[in-house]
Amino acid sequence: MNRISMLQQLDENKTWDMLIIGGGATGLGTAVDAASRGFSTILIEADDFAKGTSSRSTKLVHGGVRYLEQGNLKLVREALQERGWLLKNAPHVTRKLGFVIPAFSVVQKIYYGSGLKFYDILSGKLSLGTTKFLSKKTTQNFLPGINQKNLSGGVIYYDGQFDDARLAINLANTAAKHGAVLLNYCEVVSILKKKIKPTDKQAKIYGVVAYDAINDKTFEIKSKVVINATGVFVDDIIQMDNSNSNEIVTPSQGIHLVVNKNFFPGNYALMIPKTDDKRVLFAVPWHNKIVIGTTDTEIEDISDEPIPLQEEIDFVLKHANRYLKTNIIINDVTSMFAGLRPLVRTKGVTNTSMLSRDHVIIVSHSNLITITGGKWTTYRKMAEDAVNNAIFVAKFSYKECITKHLKIANSEFDNINYDDAIEKIYSLENIKRFIENEMAITVEDVLARRTRLLFLDAKAAIQTAPRVAKEMAAIFNYGEHWIQLEIDNFTQLAKNYLP
Ligand SMILES: Cc1cc2nc3c(=O)[nH]c(=O)nc-3n(C[C@H](O)[C@H](O)[C@H](O)COP(=O)(O)OP(=O)(O)OC[C@H]3O[C@@H](n4cnc5c(N)ncnc54)[C@H](O)[C@@H]3O)c2cc1C
């Protein structure tokens, strides 16, 4: 997967079967689905793959225990099936993980245990392990960092965990292997519409105008179908199509704090079953650190670099510290990051935590297909539904979806040991591979998404930036000016990840 060879496949005279806008979980999954069914497919991403919400999740491949409590059985069952297939198709970036809920009374233990046994039953043949009641002693053994005051026992259940940005890059490579063209740093700036048949009452979409920020070039791309998979930005594209459209997304921010493992040793995750705002909170081991989150805050401004609010940081610290032996203070945080959920607006619902996590597909009068909502875990099903709709809209002859059992590409970088020396992880040879096989263009691409150092330890990422910038410049044949600009840009951005 190489940007130069991708660009060489562009041809203004060609009409693609499917054009996908957005290179997050939804768009990349759709590209894999479309290309693997044999449709000629192009995906256009304004920034880097997974730059948006898809690199900022809690990293859980899950059915959503909380949605079970809300009674949304269909969503939970669907997500549990998807969880099972994803763990089978991408074992290199996913894993099964035990989650322990501490209980402080027998009633609590029975309540959580029975709910989770049902969660397990819903996963059917794709179950990851049996839910079990735990004694006080076993709970302490599984969660050595937990505050034992008033603890009466616990419940263990199993869910999945993954590296979100690495899975995104692997999906991009899978789509490319099936013949898709994917371009990062290429923004859709307008939509091309015209009356295609004399009988058409409405103008129909026949492509987009895209701007390649790397080569400072604007060009047209023609396609029989255009799919809008831009997450919290879907309304911008919908507005390009029809400026009279209503907005469909309510963005909701969630943050995570990352701390060293000594605060929470062991190999199990902690699930806090009820926060003050009646949600759940997790402390999850990830790449030898602990990711704690998340929040659910309705937000006005949509940004590609959302910033944790002070009240969200306080909320996460307060809830984690209720359960931990050793109090975490803000200076213990090695990285913090925020993401925006693209939640679909529902009439009468004022609290974002109550908005549905289901996905929706909307087809406009001009045939723009918008897909949003959902979760990382359900990206494959979302993609299948989007492509089925596209087949219908474009009147293509039907081709069966094959992604339920399609193996996802792997990479030597899926399981980096971040305790290895920086010189080993960011060797010239590895940087060359990030560029040539994974389309890394900037220092941020390498430190935030090809590797996850920025999300694990922002200070270490800032210290590593000059080395990565120099090596990238050597490969691209760029000069001192580019090196300095990249170091400055990355340092500026990474400061938002520091406490
Ligand atoms: C805090 C938080 C925690 C979460 N945790 C989990 C979890 O543990 N498990 C789980 O299953 N799900 C989780 N989710 C949900 C999941 O992360 C999202 O549902 C998913 O990542 C959304 O992917 P997307 O592709 O729709 O959007 P995005 O990842 O935001 O992708 C949209 C892309 O479109 C691009 N774009 C925008 N405008 C244009 C344009 N004009 N031209 C070209 N490209 C454009 C953007 O740059 C962006 O890369 C979480 C979400 C949040 C916010």
Question: Whats the size of the chain, residue-wise?
Answer: 499
What per-residue confidence (pLDDT) applies to 356? 62
352 pLDDT band, cuts 50/70/90, is low
**CA 27/CA 81 separation, integer angstroms:** 20
- The ranges assigned to domains in the chain are 3-53+165-247+355-405, 95-160+250-353, 422-497
Cα–Cα distance between 266 and 268 in angstroms, integer?
A: 6
pLDDT category at 474 given cuts 50, 70, 90 is very high
Using CA atoms of 259, 340, 171, 293 in order, give the dihedral in degrees to the nearest 10.
Answer: 30
CA of 60 from ligand 1 middle (Å) equals 14
Q: pLDDT tens digits for 64-97?
A: 888 887 788 888 999 999 999 999 999 999 999 9
Q: How far apart are CA 449 and CA 433, in angstroms?
A: 14
* Strand residues in 296-403 grouped as ranges (E): 297-298, 335-344, 359-363, 368-373
Structure tokens at 424: 């080993």
Phi, psi of 239 (to 5 degrees): -65, -35
Residues contacting residue 428 through CB under 8 Å, at least 6 positions apart: 471, 474, 475
Ligand 1 atom closest to Cα of residue 188: 42
Q: Please compute the mean of the pLDDT values over residues 372-381 and round it to a whole number.
A: 96
Within 6 A (CB) of ligand 1 lie: 21-27, 44-47, 51-54, 56-60, 62, 187-188, 229-233, 254, 294, 304, 339-342, 372, 374-377
- Which residue lies with its CA nearest to atom 39 of ligand 1? 46
Q: What is the pLDDT of residues 433-467, one digit of tens each?
A: 999 999 999 999 999 999 999 999 999 999 999 99
Write out the E strands in 143-273.
153-162, 181-183, 186-194, 204-212, 217-228, 249-260, 269-272
Q: Which of 43, 232, 233, 381, when mutated, tests ligand 1's pocket best, judged by the most ligand atoms within 8 Å of its CB?
A: 233
Q: Which helix (H) or strand (E) holds 60?
A: strand 60-61
SS3 322: helix
Q: What is the mean pLDDT of residues 103-112?
A: 94
Pocket probe mutation, ligand 1, options 57, 58, 188, max atoms within 8 Å of Cβ? 57
Q: Give the per-residue pLDDT at 142.
A: 97
How far is it, in rounded angstroms, from Cα 364 to Cα 379?
A: 22
**In the predicted model, is pLDDT for residue 278 greater than 90?**
no
Could you identify the atom of ligand 1 that is nearest to the CA of residue 237? 41
Q: Considering the chain, what is the average pLDDT of its residues?
A: 95
- Residues 283-331 have pLDDT tens digits of 999 999 999 999 999 998 899 999 999 999 999 999 999 999 999 999 9
The predicted structure's pLDDT at residue 196: 81
Can you tell me the distance from the alpha carbon of 431 to that of 375, in angstroms, rounded to the nearest whole number? 31
Q: With H, G, I as helix, E, B as strand and everything else as coil, classify residue 164.
A: helix
Largest CA distance in the chain: 76
Rounded to an integer, the average pLDDT of 161-187 is 98
Burial class of residue 194, CB neighbours in 10 A (0-12, 13-18, 19+) = exposed
User: Is the pLDDT score of 251 beyond 70?
Assistant: yes
Cα of 299 from ligand 1 centre, angstroms: 15
Residue 345 has pLDDT above 90, yes or no: no
CATH of 95-160+250-353, one of 3.40.710.10, 3.30.9.10, 3.10.20.740, 3.20.20.60: 3.30.9.10
Could you give the 3-state DSSP secondary structure of residue 374? coil
Residue-level pLDDT at 440 = 98
> CA 454, CA 47: separation in Å to the nearest integer?
17
Judged against a pLDDT cut of 70, whether residue 350 lies above it is answered with no
**What pLDDT digit, counting tens, does each position of 189-235 carry?**
999 999 988 888 889 999 999 999 999 999 999 999 999 999 999 99
- Where does 71-143 have alpha helices with state H? 73-89, 106-122, 136-142
Closest ligand 1 atom to Cα of 47: 47
Q: How far is CA 441 from the centre of its chain?
A: 20
Counting residues of the chain whose pLDDT is more than 90, the rounded percentage is 90
Q: Could you give the CA distance from residue 42 to residue 179 in angstroms, rounded to a whole number?
A: 9
**258 and 499 in contact (C-beta within 8 Å)?**
no
What is the mean pLDDT of the segment spanning 37-55?
98
Question: From the alpha carbon of 255, which atom of ligand 1 is closest?
Answer: 1
* Of 78, 169, 75, 144, nearest in space to 412 by CA: 169
Whole-prediction pTM = 0.97
Task: Using the mean position of ligand 1's atoms as its centre, give its distance from the Cα of residue 231 in Å.
Answer: 5
Helices 428-438 and 458-476 sit at what angle, rounded to 10 degrees?
80
Q: Pocket of ligand 1, candidates 32, 56, 230, 255: which has the most ligand atoms within 8 Å of its Cβ, to mutate? A: 230
Residue with CA at minimum distance from ligand 1 atom 41: 188
Residue 134 clears pLDDT 80, i.e. is over it: yes
How does DSSP classify residue 263?
Answer: G
Q: Is the pLDDT of residue 357 over 90?
A: no
* Closest alpha carbon to 284 in 50, 55, 60: 60
* Euclidean distance between CA atoms 69 and 64, whole angstroms: 9
Q: How far is CA 287 from CA 205, 259, 359, in A?
A: 44, 11, 30
Q: What is the CATH number of domain 3-53+165-247+355-405?
A: 3.50.50.60
Q: Which atom of ligand 1 approaches the CA of 240 most closely?
A: 41
CA distance 309 to 338: 9
Query: How far apart, in Å, are the Cα atoms of 1 and each of 72, 103, 435, 457?
Result: 39, 49, 9, 28
Question: With pLDDT > 70 as the criterion, what percentage of the chain qualifies?
Answer: 98
Q: Is 391 helix (H, G, I), strand (E, B) or coil?
A: helix
